Structure 1
Amino acid sequence: MIKTVDDLMAFNRANVEAVTTANQVLAQGFKSLSEESLTFSSRTMEETVAVTKKMSTCKTPTDITSLQSKLVKDNWEALVAQTKKMTEMSTAVVKDALDPLNARYKAVVDGMMRVAS
Structure 2
Amino acid sequence: MSTTRKSTKAASDAATEATKTAQAAVNDGIERMTQGMSKIGSFGQENVEAMIECATTVAKGVEKIAAENVEYAKSQMDAGTDKFQALSKAKTPQEFFEAQSELFRTSMEQHIGQVNKVSDMWVAAARDAAQPLSKRYSAFVEMMQTR
TM-score, scaled to structure 2: 0.72
In the other structure, the counterpart of 1:42 is 74
CA contact (8 A) 2:90 2:99 kept: no
Distance 1:2 1:89, change over 3 A: farther
Q: 1:20: Cα distance to partner?
A: 0.3
Q: Aligned pairs, how many?
A: 115
TM-score, scaled to structure 1: 0.88
In the other structure, the counterpart of 1:21 is 53
SS of equivalent to 1:3? helix
Structure number with higher helix proportion? 2
- Residue by residue over 1:44-74, the C-alpha shift from the partner in whole angstroms, topping out at 9 and shown as x without a partner, is 2221221102322332222221111111000
Which of residues 90, 96, 105 in structure 2 aligns to 1:73? 105
Which structure exhibits the higher relative contact order, with contacts defined as CA atoms closer than 8 Å and separated by 6 or more residues? 1
Q: % of aligned pairs identical?
A: 27
Is residue 2:136 matched to residue 1:92?
no
* Structure 2, gaps ≥5 residues long: 1-32
RMSD between aligned residues: 1.8
Q: Which runs of structure 1 show a deviation greater than 6 angstroms over 4 or more consecutive aligned residues?
A: none
Larger radius of gyration: 2
